[in-house]
Amino acid sequence: MGKLGNLKRLDPRHVWAHEATEFTPWLADQIEMLGDAIGLELELVRRESSVGDFSVDLLARDLGRNQLVVIENQLEVTDHSHLGQLLTYAAGTTAGGVIWICREFREEHRQALDWLNEHCRDIDFFGVVLEVLQIDDSAPAANFRPIAFPNDWTRRSQEAAKSSELSERAKAYQEFFQRLLDHLREEHRFTGARKGLPQNWYSFSSGHSGFNYGVSFARGGEIRAEIYIDTGEGDENLEIFEAFQAEREAIEHEFGEPLRWERLDNSRGCRIATYRDGSIEDSDEELEEYLKWATDRMLRFKKVFDGRLSRLP
């Protein structure tokens, strides 16, 4: 066996001297890395979002549940002030999730997050330790280590077992999207998401704010794969959609089949999609074929649009 290096833990302040001007911008660019650590598909919404007299470090969206997530950074040991701010942010943004990132958690603050997860049914609280690791003289590497997280997966599965709300159809959706997530994550590194949900759709981060890839069981016995455009501004969405539409021939050639170009005039966003016949109630053999189709179309969308999204102003 060759010689092993020595692993060292560094103070995050050695890498990011200033939290607001150095660490927060870095984290905004690494939002998927944070999502991978806690099993969420996160997309950045904005930095420094105002909530009353306070300002949220980062506001993200959990694409799996389509809900806002507040992220508060503290490159120090946790304190009561930041805990209070987290609760203010959660109330002021109607967030469905709160992530508190710190250099070190006091035990009483970790216990407070556990208590909140036990008693706040509509909000998930995560406590994440930021570690900076270095082997010998190598470049430092960041690592996110969750130490407090919601027990909702267990709780909700127990509730679902007692409730008729999770129908056989919902269970089938959850199983299908769980398999799709696992395959895209493990075989293609397409996503960091880990939890399929009992709903007829799932959105994946494109890595570019305002653009998501998605798969859904649509009305009329069809399955849809798409790129969805929603930057938050209807006029901007339409402008981008029309710019892509001007490249329609080239895009469809690269994609390998015709696409549906949907302006969605009654919605804020726009969609470029492909469809096939199929229902969640079809046979296991057919669902297996739909899984292969959805995987292939997600990879095609990423291949065709990733570079184009990077070149947008």
Domains present along the chain, CATH in parentheses: 7-155 (3.40.1350.10), 164-310 (3.30.1460)
* Predicted local confidence at residue 3, as pLDDT: 80
* Predicted local confidence at residue 49, as pLDDT: 63
* Predicted local confidence at residue 44, as pLDDT: 85
Which of 208 and 53 is assigned the larger pLDDT?
208
- What would the mean pLDDT of 12-21 be, rounded to a whole number? 92
287 has pLDDT over 90: yes
The whole-model pTM stands at 0.62
Tokens 């701010």 sit on residue: 85
* Predicted local confidence at residue 71, as pLDDT: 95
* Predicted local confidence at residue 186, as pLDDT: 93
279 has pLDDT over 90: yes
Let me know: does 270 contact 262? Beta carbons within 8 Å: yes
The model's confidence at residue 194, banded by pLDDT at 50, 70 and 90, is confident
Classify residue 3 by burial, with Cβ atoms within 10 Å: 0-12, 13-18, 19+: exposed
Classify residue 64 by burial, with Cβ atoms within 10 Å: 0-12, 13-18, 19+: buried
Which of 9 and 41 is assigned the larger pLDDT?
9
Instruction: Report the range out of 32-36, 231-235, 240-244 with the highest average pLDDT.
Output: 240-244
- Segment among 76-80, 164-168, 195-199, 288-292 with least mean pLDDT: 164-168
Tokens 């469905």 sit on residue: 96
- Segment among 11-15, 231-235, 240-244, 277-281 with least mean pLDDT: 231-235
Give the rounded percent of residues in the chain with a pLDDT score beyond 90.
59
* Predicted local confidence at residue 161, as pLDDT: 46
The model's confidence at residue 169, banded by pLDDT at 50, 70 and 90, is confident
* Predicted local confidence at residue 75, as pLDDT: 93
The string of pLDDT tens digits covering residues 68-121 is 899 999 999 999 999 998 888 877 777 889 999 999 999 999 999 999 988 887
The model's confidence at residue 51, banded by pLDDT at 50, 70 and 90, is low
284 has pLDDT over 70: yes
* Predicted local confidence at residue 154, as pLDDT: 43
* Predicted local confidence at residue 208, as pLDDT: 84
Rounded-to-10 torsion of CA 39, 44, 48, 53:
-60
The model's confidence at residue 278, banded by pLDDT at 50, 70 and 90, is very high
